[in-house]
Amino acid sequence: MDKELKKITPSFKEISLKQSSFKSLYGLTPEVEQAIIHAINNKKKSGLKKLVEPLHPADQADMLERLSNENLNTFLDLLGKSLDPEVLVYLDQDIQENVIDHIGPIALARAIHDLDTDDAVDILQDLEEKDREVVIKQLPSSDRILVEEALSFPEQSAGRLMQREFLAFPSNWTVGQTIDHMRTKPLHEEETFYSIYIVDPAHRLLGVISLSKLLSTKRPVRLKDLMEKEPRSVTIETDQEEVALLFQQYGLVNMPVIDQLNRLLGVIVVDDIVDVINEEAQEDLLGLAGVSDFSIRASFIETAKGRFSWLILNMFTAILASSVIGLFQEEIEKLVALAVLMPIVASMGGNAGTQTVTVAVRALATRQLDYSNLQKFVLRETWVGMMNGVLFAFLSALIAYLWFGDKQIALVMALAMIANLFFAGILGTLIPLTLEKNNIDPAISSSVFLTTATDVIGFFTFLGLAAWIIL
């Protein structure tokens, strides 16, 4: 491998932004990556295998995502059949599809059989219905029932997130009996548990015991005397965002999922919740900026398409704002300073409003904002808008006066600034709250409504006041 590395070094140095300014955190170092690409180009199957196998499945997935389509296909030709099933779990959807097409339904069914139900369902739910049926038919019947049931739960629900593999014991068992039983059933390599659950004969959830508590307790103690009663649980329909909030609030590592009759169905584990938290935060971030897709790997056509709908929406709102300017063409002709100053009013309103919208969106997503502090929040943001409005009114009036030497223009500037920042504060809270109330995601649509409003109000008050006071 060292020899191979030396060969790569020169071409690697050519990259303009220094490698050292970006850190490689994971197992997939630049050196390993280059060596893998080299092995693919030379179709060295055994060399490739030696490079790939020591990598964690998550790193292997990263690597596949970084390959060009051509290299990916060569890689799959060489190693597709011996790929670790866990790798599938970590792949982006588009690459996952590519890999699945390549290895075929029988190999996929075999791979899925080795996975936890939550991971199996995660892969199957993204397949086209036809392909999914083919794969499900290949599964052993015990797997098939669990997978089909999981797929019947709503998307993004606790039912989809949970794994069906968990440990449940009767309440009258002792610690010793439980441990002895666990020793008779060796774990799969990937399986890890953090708690055991106590159930009654009808499989209803009675309590939970953490493994550390189980291990620190003497053998004769009965589980019912050790367990934490009525543990926090969610039902299969609970939305994944709510599940994530509960994990965060109470610092949980796992949580039982029950049905309407309190029967234990499965367990959600924190690593899946970390993914959910990330997804939800990313959705809000991208939503506010109008990006519907986020694949670093998507082609430029796909990317351009994904951006287009937001831009066209913004174009119409920009035209709306411009048509407000259109109403005052005569005034601008008479006093061209108005055209120079008007974007300042609109831009300040947009920025102040975006600050408020962002705080509101985040506070709603983290449930910090609710019925009880709503009025206080709207009031605070209105006052903030008012106060900054007055400050920036003075400042912008001063600048307008120094620039154009006209007291009336300065006055109009000040008044328009107060009005626009005031409305920015009110609308910055009311728009996301109204959307939330109507079950529309405030992260996705608030900012376009807001900037339309602040542009229209900004231009209208500034030009309107100018027409009234000056001209």
Interacting residues with a copy of itself between 358 and 377 (CB under 8 A) = 358-359, 361-363, 366-375, 377
| Residue of 5, 79, 98, 290 that binds a copy of itself (CB under 8 A) | 290
Would you count residue 433 as binding a copy of itself (CB under 8 A)? Answer: yes
Pick 199 or 378: Cβ nearer a copy of itself = 378
Dist CA 444 CA 437 (whole Å): 14
454 forms part of the interface with a copy of itself (CB under 8 A): no
Q: Verify binding: residue 8, a copy of itself, rule CB under 8 A.
A: no
Closer CB to a copy of itself, residue 79 or residue 270?
A: 270
DSSP 268: E
Handedness of CA 275, 110, 135, 102 (dihedral sign): positive
**Considering the complex, what minimum distance in angstroms separates the CB of residue 165 from a copy of itself?**
11
Residues 131-190 that bind a copy of itself (CB under 8 A): 179, 182-183, 185-187
Q: How far is the CB of 444 from a copy of itself (least distance, A)?
A: 13
29 lines the binding site for a copy of itself (CB under 8 A): no
Per the listing, tokens 């971030």 go with: 285
Residue 398 binds to a copy of itself (criterion: CB under 8 A)? no
Q: Chain centroid to CA 410: how far?
A: 46
Residue 211 and residue 41: Cα distance in Å, rounded? 48
Residues between 314 and 333 that touch a copy of itself (CB under 8 A): 314-315, 318-319, 321-323, 325-326, 329, 332-333
Are 203 and 263 in contact by the 8 Å Cβ rule? The answer is yes
Regarding 23 and contact with a copy of itself (CB under 8 A), the answer is yes
Structure tokens at 452: 């339309």
Element (H, E) at 354: helix 337-365
Residue 96 · residue 123 · CB < 8 Å = yes
Is there binding between residue 106 and a copy of itself (CB under 8 A)? no
247 binds a copy of itself (CB under 8 A): yes
Q: Residue type at 220?
A: P
By 3-state DSSP, what share of the chain in percent is helix, strand and coil, each rounded to 5? Answer: 70, 10, 25
Total residues binding a copy of itself (CB under 8 A): 134
Query: Contact between 203 and a copy of itself (CB under 8 A)?
Result: no
122 scored as a contact of a copy of itself (CB under 8 A):
no
Chain residues 66-105 in contact with a copy of itself, contact rule CB under 8 A: 66
9 binds a copy of itself (CB under 8 A): no
Among 3, 215, 229, 260, binds a copy of itself (CB under 8 A): 215
Q: Is 5 in the site for a copy of itself (CB under 8 A)?
A: no
Q: Where are the alpha helices (DSSP H) in 67-140?
A: 69-79, 85-90, 93-113, 117-124, 129-138
Q: Is residue 211 at the binding interface for a copy of itself, with CB under 8 A as the rule? A: yes
Length of the chain: 471
Regarding 53 and contact with a copy of itself (CB under 8 A), the answer is no
> Alpha-carbon distance 258 to 272, whole Å?
18
Nearer to a copy of itself (CB atom), residue 105 or residue 287: 287
Cβ atoms within 10 Å of 262's Cβ, excluding its own: 17
Q: Does 394 bind a copy of itself (CB under 8 A)?
A: no
From the list 2-10, 96-104, 197-205, 349-357, the region that binds a copy of itself by CB under 8 A is: 349-357
Instruction: Work out how close the CB of 128 gets to a copy of itself at its nearest, in angstroms, rounded to a whole number.
Output: 26
261 vs 8, 146, 405, CA distance in Å?
Answer: 62, 19, 77
Alpha-carbon Rg for the chain, nearest whole angstrom, is: 30
β-bridge partners, 266: 257
DSSP state of 187: P
